[in-house]
Amino acid sequence: MKEVARGDRWVKLISLSLLVGLWYAVALLPAKSVFPPPHVVLLYLIEDVQSWAIWSHLLATLSRIFFGFSLAMAVAVPAGILLGFSGLAQRLFGTWVLIGLMTPSLVFIILVYTSMGLNDIAAVVAAAMTVIPVLVVNIWENAKAVDSKLVQMARVFNLSTLKIVRQIVLPQLAPPLLASARFGLGLVWKMVLFVELLGRSNGIGYQIEYYYQLFNMGRVLEYTVFFVGIMLIIEVVILGGIEHRLFRWRPAARLG
């Protein structure tokens, strides 16, 4: 196992090195230095992390991500489970979900901003609304895969609906729910940056748009790399650690 883990680390290191090499190659293509190489962006980043400004923008964005993600999951989880188990709910609200999937994210953001104003609450609601239909469909499909025989047996023993959900449905849905959470987090933070770009005066998305207006690609890439790095830490270290602890009893499936 240790040799396999060591081999995986080497593969990831090689993959990262190839990405950096590709970045350098792309930076050499333009006749004018528009796309700066990695070491220039790294110098910008080292300069800015020593000041409070970049951290204040990060905190503003992370707070919006947290509340937007919490709102999206609070709506999507019960809605997806309900659609997965209720034929009536599917007939009543299935079309709503499809319409939500087909509606461009920009429309949701504009509608929320125009109705609620350019404020943080609107930013959180707009980011959540763009993600909810995708999460609902994901949870809906997984809910349909729950073993219906166990549910039928529970009804024979007169278990209440609450106990059936808590003791039978949720344990079977735990792995796909966590996978949906990780997927939803990735969607929410991208939407939060977009929402900040359109209607906020702080945050990582605002900074990226600000430096784009100045045509300073070095700073654009600096904030991008910084934020992607933070989100990778949250995704791999925190959520990945939670998943490992909760489901370490499952054998690890490995391809190849």
Residue 186 inside a domain? The answer is yes
Residue 123 near residue 192, CB atoms below 8 Å: yes
Gap between the terminal Cα atoms of the chain: 15
Domain total of the chain: 1
Nearest to 54 by CA among 46, 63, 66, 64: 46
What are 170-193's pLDDT values in tens digits?
777 777 788 888 888 888 888 998
> Is residue 29 in some structural domain?
no
Residue 71: predicted pLDDT: 93
What are 1-21's pLDDT values in tens digits? Answer: 555 556 677 787 888 888 888
Put simply, whether the predicted model's pTM sits higher than 0.85 gets the answer: no
pLDDT at position 198:
85
Q: Which pLDDT band, with edges at 50, 70 and 90, does 87 fall under?
A: confident
Structural domain boundaries enclosing 120: 42-246
Half-sphere exposure of 23 (CA within 13 A, CB side): 16
The CATH number of the domain holding residue 58 is: 1.10.3720.10
Residue 235 lies in a domain: yes
